[in-house]
């Protein structure tokens, strides 16, 4: 039934594409109205996800009134039209967009849908976690609570190998290396050959139980601001943890430099070689959670954000934030533990005073941001960079394009839910379910 539905929709959508039209989406710095191409599909769009290496987006249609219909669709930005859509249940189903097609886990099956909506292959008892397009392998498990990690051909849907990798706390991050192997942060550190299933592992403490007394902040936007840009080519992959009473993603990012792998769990920061052999290891002064590592010259910077995430996606204050500096070559501590102003994290943001036409870039703690808001100052965070000199910033649904100094290029007068940049095209979603797009070269 799923197969015929997808093919049918792909064949008739060409006749039912919303006509191209324009919409006023904002004003330029001189007050001039700015128009963009718009598309309206008559359905509530919850969000969209970029298809890697394609000018395409996966759209999530989720209705909030009966019959509560939910659909996944493929929209082509260059062709200005929807290519296919299919009914799903996002409370159970999920998908991984790839340049080879969309891997969809729906019901008891996992499918690969091509650009026409045709099913390339279908596989039972396989829950995908990560799609490695370079090696043509999809990684996953036969069922949610299984620890049997499987490698499946991305193009043919055939099982290639199986191994063992526990994931009680989910997967926090997957990072491809230049030699084709994958670094995986699960219940342990794993270095995997995706073509053969051969792996090297090292124990790590990346999650914990019994966090009922932790204080919830509900600050997903702040978390994004704290961790933005961290990170050495890393690709974050979210996979639901198995343990219900777990605080997870308590590890750092992977940072690879000059052939060495740097990584921290709750207790230790380590430098390892390409076989996961420890070159040096230092015990952290206090337990860490959701930390960040980056290197400048020979100095390794470690920033503990102090946050953790539960199975519902809520963020909790787990540990006290702090920063450290180490010599990347031997782990020598370069400073005593440095408090981040009352042990809070700094966030790079832009402040907007009501009577000023520009923004002021600042580096504030979470508490300072809240204080600014109470004083009537708008606090804006970066949604995405457009170039080395321009970026999209936002506060709630209010979006702007500014330069690094805070000078305004464009103020979006339509409340936005999301933006994405594909090549030189900026695509946005308004709170009225309108998708718009325009070429940034017409603006910057």
Tens digits of residue pLDDT in 211-244: 554 444 444 333 433 343 333 333 334 455 665 6
- pLDDT under 50: residue ranges of the chain: 1-5, 7-8, 10-19, 213-238, 339-344
Q: Give yes or no: residues 311 and 379 share one domain.
A: no
Is the link from the previous residue into 248 a cis peptide, with omega within 30 of 0? no
Q: Give yes or no: residues 183 and 298 share one domain.
A: yes
Backbone CA torsion sign across 251, 257, 261, 262? negative
Q: Give yes or no: residues 208 and 273 share one domain.
A: yes
Q: Give yes or no: residues 329 and 352 share one domain.
A: no
Q: Give yes or no: residues 322 and 355 share one domain.
A: no
Residue ending a domain, choose from 312, 343, 374: 343
Q: Give yes or no: residues 184 and 262 share one domain.
A: yes
165 falls within a domain: no
Q: Give yes or no: residues 349 and 277 share one domain.
A: no
Residue ending a domain, choose from 343, 372, 391: 343
Q: Give yes or no: residues 214 and 339 share one domain.
A: yes
Residue ending a domain, choose from 321, 343, 365: 343
Q: Give yes or no: residues 241 and 321 share one domain.
A: yes
Backbone angles phi, psi at 11, to 5 degrees: -80, -25
306 falls within a domain: yes
78 falls within a domain: no
Domain assignment of residue 361, given as a range: 345-412
pLDDT value at position 374?
93
26 falls within a domain: no
CATH number at residue 327: 2.40.10.480
pLDDT value at position 279?
97
Q: How far apart are CA 211 and CA 225, in angstroms?
A: 24
Q: Give yes or no: residues 322 and 367 share one domain.
A: no
Total domain count, the chain: 2
274 falls within a domain: yes
3-state SS of the chain? Answer: CHHHHHHHHHHHHHHHCCCCEEEEEEEECCCCEEEEEEEECCCCEEEEEECCCCCEEEEEEECCCCCCCEEEEEEECCCCEEEEEEECCCCCCEEEEECCEEEEEECCEEEEECCCCCEEEEEECCEEEEEECCCCEEEEECCCCCCEEEEEECCCCCEEEEEECCCCCCECEEEECCCCCEEEECCEEEEECCCCCCEEEEECCCCEECCCCCEECCCHHHHHHHHCCCCCCCECCCECCCCCCEEECCCCCCEEECCEEEEECCCEEEEECCCCCEEEEEECCCCCCCEEEEEECCEEEEEECCEEECCCCCEEECCCCEEEEEECCCCCECCCCECCCCCCCEEEEEEECCCCCCCEEEEEEHHHHHHHHHCCCEEEEEEEECCCCEEEEEECCEEEEEECCCCEEEEECCCEEEEEEECCEEEEEECCCEEEEEEHHHCC
pLDDT value at position 155?
95
pLDDT value at position 220?
39
Q: How far apart are CA 64 and CA 70, in angstroms?
A: 9
Q: Give yes or no: residues 318 and 363 share one domain.
A: no
pLDDT value at position 337?
54
Q: Give yes or no: residues 287 and 398 share one domain.
A: no
pTM attached to this predicted model: 0.83
388 falls within a domain: yes
Q: How far apart are CA 402 and CA 391, in angstroms?
A: 6
352 falls within a domain: yes
249 falls within a domain: yes
């Amino acid at each position: 039934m799923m197969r015929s539905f997808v093919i049918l929709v792909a064949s008739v959508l060409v006749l039912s594409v919303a006509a191209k039209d324009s919409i006023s989406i904002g004003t330029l710095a001189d007050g001039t109205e700015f128009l963009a191409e718009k598309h309206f599909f008559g359905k509530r769009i919850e969000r969209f996800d970029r298809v890697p290496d394609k000018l395409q987006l996966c759209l999530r249609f989720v209705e909030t009134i009966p019959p509560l219909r939910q659909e996944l669709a493929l929209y082509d930005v260059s062709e200005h039209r929807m290519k296919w859509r299919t009914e799903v249940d996002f409370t159970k189903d999920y998908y991984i967009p790839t340049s080879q097609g969309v891997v969809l886990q729906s019901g008891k099956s996992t499918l690969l849908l091509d650009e026409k909506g045709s099913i390339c292959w279908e596989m039972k008892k396989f829950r995908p976690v990560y799609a490695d397009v370079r090696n043509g392998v999809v990684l996953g498990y036969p069922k949610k609570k299984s620890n049997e990690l499987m490698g499946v051909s991305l193009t043919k849907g055939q099982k290639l190998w199986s191994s063992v990798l526990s994931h009680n706390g989910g997967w926090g991050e997957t990072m491809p290396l230049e030699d084709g192997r994958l670094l995986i942060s699960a219940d342990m550190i794993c270095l995997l050959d995706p073509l053969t299933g051969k792996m090297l592992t090292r124990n790590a403490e990346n999650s914990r139980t019994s966090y009922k007394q932790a204080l919830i902040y509900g600050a997903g936007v702040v978390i994004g601001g704290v961790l933005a840009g961290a990170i050495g080519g890393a690709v974050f992959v979210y996979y639901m943890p198995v343990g219900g009473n777990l605080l997870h993603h308590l590890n750092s990012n992977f940072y690879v430099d000059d052939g060495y792998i740097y990584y921290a769990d709750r207790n230790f920061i380590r430098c390892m070689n390409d076989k996961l052999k420890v070159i040096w290891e230092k015990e952290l002064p206090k337990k860490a959670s959701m930390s960040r590592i980056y290197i400048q010259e020979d100095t390794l910077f470690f920033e503990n954000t102090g946050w953790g995430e539960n199975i519902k996606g809520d963020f909790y204050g787990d540990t006290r934030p702090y920063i450290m500096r180490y010599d990347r070559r031997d782990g020598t501590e370069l400073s005593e533990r440095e408090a981040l102003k009352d042990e809070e994290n700094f966030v790079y943001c832009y402040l907007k005073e009501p009577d000023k036409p520009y923004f002021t870039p600042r580096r504030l703690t979470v508490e300072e941001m809240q204080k600014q808001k109470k004083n009537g100052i708008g606090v804006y965070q970066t949604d995405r960079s457009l170039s080395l000199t321009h970026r999209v910033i936002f506060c709630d649904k209010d979006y702007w394009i500014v330069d690094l100094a805070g000078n305004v290029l464009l103020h979006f007068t339509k409340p936005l839910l999301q933006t994405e940049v594909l090549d030189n095209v900026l695509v946005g979603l308004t709170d009225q379910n309108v998708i718009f797009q325009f070429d940034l070269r017409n603006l910057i």
